[in-house]
Amino acid sequence: MSELDRRQFLGLLATAAASTALPWSDAMAADTGLALGIATAFSWEGLIEEARRLARQAYRPAFQANAGVLEQIDWEAHGKIRFKPEDALFSGGPGQYPVAFFHPGRFFQSPVQMYRLDSFSDTTQDQFIAREILYDKRHFDMPADSPAQRLGAETGYAGFRIQESRSGDQSRLDWQHNDWAAFLGASYFRAIGDEYQYGISARGIAIDTVVKNTPEEFPAFTRFYFDPPQEGSDTMTVYALLDGPSIAGAYRFAMTREAGVVMDIEANLFLRRDVGRFGIAPATSMYWFSKKDKAFQIDWRPEVHDSDGLALWTGGNEHIWRPLIASREMINVSAFADNNPRGFGLMQRERHFDEYLDAVHYERRPSLWIEPLEGWGEGSVQLVELLTEEELYDNVIAMWVPHEKAKAGNSYRLRYRLHWRADEPFKTNLARCVATRIGRGGEPGKRPPGVHKFVVEFKGSELAQLAAGIRPEAVLTAPGGRISNVMTEAVPDGVPGHWRAFFDLAAQDTVEIRLFLKAGAQTLTETWLYQFHPA
């Protein structure tokens, strides 16, 4: 700081916008060989104001000067380019989480600006100096014939990943390559769960997902600012600027590395134009099939999915489980109306290798639970299930959509928490749905056409505590369908609290089925929902 008058700089911070340039020479990061650009004033409030100003202006997409070269960096070539671990940001700090950067390529061409922050201990607000981390291909290991060798300093980075602390216990993890959070592509990001696996992704925002005659929009994080983590802290704070044709926004991520990962997010959003479906805190996952809807000989594995259901904890304190559905003929969009929901998430409940038999270990994929930290008012959790015939692409989206129309000029301040864990973070005594099975209705030798038999299994403490001789009652509704042969029984596997409900369903059109078990006035299970489409 000897090159600046400290008092003068603090005065500038009070009035400067987030992008105001200050006189500061190029420098090197203290703990790495990364080159840093000219210093600028940065504050969280300044970033919010910049997003507000952007939303009042016409959208200008980021310009990539080297698009022709990047187009030559396909998946294979991109996979051979690795950021050098020793050059990671914060790589030298004790107990800190190093930040490595992704190289751009054919599928990630937009340059994303990265900034290191340095703060002052005597300020009372989030006020920093920010210096851009300049792109240099020498920070990457790459083949001599890689197209990336022809790129210059103006190229920029595509995204980043946060690595495990290099001073922690590395008995299980390779600190040079293992990371626990990554941001790459548009506003996508993800984190590992308890089992050290990636799977489901999140997005900053979802704009016009499955809106008739309107293409989906993918706003992008165009800048990231990294606050150096404090020694001994397991939390890292990252700020981001979002920009897109319909929206601009400022995000603050406080990411904590626990058994899984917890992210506290504040988003300040400003709409440039009307949005048909405004998806807040969207989660994006892959569901190809499970045993209940696996097509004959489609694949050798029993199940293939990153998530198997949508869990809801409503503002009315109801716990709901909606199994995901394989969509091969139509797009499914379901809306679950609510007022101030307690939370929702796409979960991976099946946690045994035998369910998948795959070396990629789908049973270890994290679940993602979204917890509002302030009231979200009226709206709906909306679930979109897209067509798929492969496991390569995410085809499931869950998000909160406010009841109020998203109009140009609207602004939103949102606070929520993301839990990347194997299981839901809030336990109840209600028995959970552990299986959904579907087959031909009727009985052996008496199979009426157009009738399907459902078997829904529940397991948990409330069912385990039933007195001897008490049989739970199935509370079942299916408007538009005809229900018959309803019964419940204990699953004959010797496991206490493991029960199942049977029923037959005849329907000619789509039916929304609702089921839970009770004993007298006591609810014993979460509510199982299912959207059935007759063939």
Q: 3-state DSSP call for residue 365?
A: coil
**How many CB atoms within 10 Å of residue 345?**
27
List the CATH code of the domain at 432-532.
2.60.40.10
What secondary structure does DSSP assign to 42-89, as a single string? EEHHHHHHHHHHHHTS---PPP-TTHHHHTT--HHHHHT-EE-GGGSB
Chain centre distance of CA 493: 36
pLDDT tier for residue 134 given thresholds of 50, 70 and 90: very high
Q: What is the pLDDT of residue 28?
A: 61
pTM for the predicted model, two decimal places:
0.92
Burial of 18 (0-12, 13-18, 19+ CB in 10 A): buried
- Mean of pLDDT over the chain: 90
Helices (H) and strands (E) in the chain, counts: 5, 35
CA separation, residue 99 to residues 176, 224, 225, 234 (Å): 11, 12, 11, 14
Kindly state the percentage of the chain with pLDDT values over 70.
90
Q: Is the pLDDT score of 63 beyond 70? A: yes
Query: For residues 142 and 446, what is the distance between their CA atoms, to the nearest angstrom?
Result: 66
With a cut of 90, say whether residue 219 has pLDDT above it.
yes
Neighbours of 204 (CB within 10 A): 26
Question: Which residues neighbour 267 within 8 Å (Cβ) at sequence distance 6 or greater?
Answer: 204, 205, 249, 250, 251, 412, 413, 414, 415
Nearest to 93 by CA among 256, 225, 228, 238: 228
Cβ atoms < 10 Å from Cβ of 354 = 9
What are 164's two structure tokens?
């495990």
Question: What is the Cα–Cα distance from 27 to 459, expressed in whole angstroms?
Answer: 60
pLDDT above 60 (res 177): no
What Å distances lie between residue 152 and 36, 67, 80, 143, CA to CA? Answer: 16, 12, 19, 16
Judging by DSSP bridges, how do beta strands 235-244 and 201-203 pair with one another? Answer: unpaired
pLDDT in tens, 410-443: 999 999 999 999 999 998 999 999 999 999 998 8
pLDDT tens sequence across 471-504: 999 999 999 999 999 999 999 999 999 999 999 9
Q: Which of 24-33, 248-257, 266-275, 312-321 has the lowest mean pLDDT?
A: 24-33
